[in-house]
């Protein structure tokens, strides 16, 4: 039996053209089990912004699929918006799509098929788009475990790839400024059962316009939140070094040289070969800027 799917698309209403493209790509998916889309406007006003409110009129042909636009009625921010959407769904499965990303043809069919009748959570490969260049990122496996997500953030296990059983999981709204709520959700899902990975690029993820891209203080708070919630991140040397290196880089980007050096030393102690530590020290010393480093990494489809 084909399961029905509800798709939650949070938006701040500041990029209507990209939002329209995201909605149209979801509605273009071929799915016989029933498909509904909930656009959740995370705006300061009680009602969605006009650009968001008019999205239903901008989409030419909804066909047999349902489309609704709702305000975020929970905690302001991305986690609350996602949970508002989940609560509004009455489907068997729930999927996420960010308002600046695009589902590619066949995404939903492949993931629903991979989940079968008993699967709980699925992701897929992605195509990272940055500055006109596209780079494919795959997991190299058909499943992703909690151990995998501890050792590496695994960028392809991206929120816009998530498809999971409704009612099994909710987004944690205590995530500082919404940072790492998707990584936390994937880790909790993988602890229940390995994530089913459809390992081919079925979502185009656009980098460069993220609301969180350079909010370094929020990144620091979000990484601290993850370390407190998931002790396995500290227990695994590779995972610990990666997070410590990200903290070192974030402090360096803010000009906090002493804190950057302290976290770089912790990074080296956890894993001597972790590259984020020397990169952070170079930024702290003024040898290279944080935006330059990020641009070079994003060009290759990687993040810090």
**pLDDT tens-digit profile of 206-255?**
987 654 556 899 999 999 999 999 999 999 999 999 999 999 999 999 99
Q: How confident is the model at residue 51 (pLDDT cuts 50, 70, 90)?
A: low
- Percent of the chain at pLDDT > 90 equals 77
Q: What are phi and psi of 168, to 5 degrees?
A: -80, -30
What mean pLDDT is predicted for residues 281-300?
93
Taking all residues of the chain, what is their mean pLDDT, rounded to a whole number?
91
| Domain ranges across the chain | 5-206, 236-299
pTM for this structure?
Answer: 0.91
pLDDT digit string, tens, across residues 152-168: 999 999 999 999 999 99
Q: Is 150 helix (H, G, I), strand (E, B) or coil?
A: helix
> Residue 209: its pLDDT value, please?
60
Report the pLDDT averaged over residues 270-274.
94
For the ranges 52-56, 118-122, 186-190, 294-298, the one whose mean pLDDT is highest: 186-190
- Topology of the domain covering 5-206: Spore Coat Polysaccharide Biosynthesis Protein SpsA; Chain A (3.90.550)
């Amino acid at each position: 039996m084909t399961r029905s799917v509800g798709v939650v698309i949070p938006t701040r209403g500041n990029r209507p053209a990209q939002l329209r493209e995201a909605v149209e790509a979801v509605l273009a998916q071929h799915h016989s089990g029933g498909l509904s889309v909930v656009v959740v406007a995370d705006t300061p006003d009680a009602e969605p912004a006009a650009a968001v409110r008019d999205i239903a009129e901008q989409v030419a042909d909804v066909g047999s699929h349902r489309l609704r636009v709702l305000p975020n009625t929970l905690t302001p921010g991305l986690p609350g918006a996602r949970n508002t959407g989940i609560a509004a769904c009455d489907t068997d499965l729930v999927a996420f799509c960010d308002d600046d990303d695009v589902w590619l043809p066949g995404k939903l069919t492949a993931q629903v098929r991979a989940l079968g009748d008993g699967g709980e959570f699925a992701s897929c490969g992605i195509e990272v788009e940055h500055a006109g260049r596209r780079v494919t990122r795959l997991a190299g496996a058909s499943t992703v475990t909690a151990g995998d997500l501890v050792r590496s953030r695994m960028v392809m296990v991206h929120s816009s790839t998530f498809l999971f059983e409704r009612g099994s999981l909710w987004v944690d709204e205590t995530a500082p400024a919404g940072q790492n709520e998707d990584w936390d959700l994937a880790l909790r899902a993988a602890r229940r059962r390995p994530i089913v990975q459809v390992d081919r690029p079925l979502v185009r993820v656009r980098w460069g316009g993220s609301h969180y891209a350079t909010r370094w203080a929020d990144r620091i708070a979000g990484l601290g939140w993850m370390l407190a919630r998931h002790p396995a991140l500290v227990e695994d040397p590779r995972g610990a070094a990666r997070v410590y290196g990200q903290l070192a880089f974030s402090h360096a980007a803010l000009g906090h040289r002493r804190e950057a050096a302290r976290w770089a030393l912790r990074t080296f102690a956890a894993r001597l070969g972790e590259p984020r530590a020397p990169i952070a020290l170079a930024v702290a010393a003024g040898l290279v800027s944080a935006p330059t480093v990020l641009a070079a990494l994003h060009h290759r489809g990687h993040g810090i």
